[in-house]
Amino acid sequence: MEHKTDIRFPRAPLFAAGLLVAATITFVVMARMSPSPALTDLVKTEVAESRSLRFEDAPDGSVYIYDAQTNETVAIAAPGTNGFLRGMMRGMMRTRKQNEASLKAPMVLERLANGIVLLIDNETKVTLDLDAYGHTNADVFKAFLKSQSNMNHEGEQG
């Protein structure tokens, strides 16, 4: 005698699981096809200030920061100081070497109207939001902007 067991899976949970999978796929496709809100805000934001800077290592271990247009010395990072700046430049130069790009080409420092500070390397097409590394670290680069350096000089005099 043969016993046939008829196992039936309840349809409601199976239908719900299928609906969940379909909804997940739909939401992922919609998210991938729509522009990122953060990127959209960044693209729409006007540049409030911009400066082309060249970063050069000196034989004594200092890092010289020059205005690329005027060749004026903007700042000098003495050996053993400015760890964030040094680490950032090492990473940027390593990327340039990997892409066989010029190590002497300037980078663009921009302050957007919304306050975000960007470091842009047009040689490698890398753009860094410096505020993402913390305000203290971003302030190191903000000091290289003309409006910030003018305020610093005025503050020193008064």
Provide the residue-wise pLDDT of the chain in tens; the chain has 158 residues: 666 677 777 788 778 888 888 878 877 776 666 655 555 555 567 899 999 999 998 899 899 999 999 999 999 999 989 999 988 998 999 999 999 999 999 999 999 998 889 999 999 999 999 999 998 999 999 999 987 555 444 443 33
Q: Within a 13 Å sphere around the CA of 130, how many CA atoms are in the beta-carbon half?
A: 28
Contact between residue 45 and residue 111 where contact means Cβ atoms under 8 Å apart: no
What's residue 102's pLDDT? 92
115 assigned to some structural domain: yes
74 assigned to some structural domain: yes
114 assigned to some structural domain: yes
Do both 101 and 129 map to the same domain? yes
pTM over 0.75: no
Do both 83 and 56 map to the same domain? yes
Do both 66 and 107 map to the same domain? yes
Do both 82 and 21 map to the same domain? no
In angstroms, rounded to a whole number, what is the distance separating the alpha carbons of residues 111 and 51?
9
5 assigned to some structural domain: no
Do both 79 and 151 map to the same domain? yes
Do both 102 and 90 map to the same domain? yes
81 assigned to some structural domain: yes
What's residue 23's pLDDT? 79
Do both 72 and 53 map to the same domain? yes
2 assigned to some structural domain: no
Q: How many domains in the chain?
A: 2
Q: Helices 83-98 & 135-142, crossing angle to 10 degrees?
A: 80
Do both 36 and 105 map to the same domain? no
3 assigned to some structural domain: no
86 assigned to some structural domain: yes
Do both 29 and 66 map to the same domain? no
Do both 50 and 28 map to the same domain? no
Alpha-carbon dihedral angle through residues 115, 116, 117, 121, given to the nearest 10 degrees = -140
Domain extent for 22:
11-41
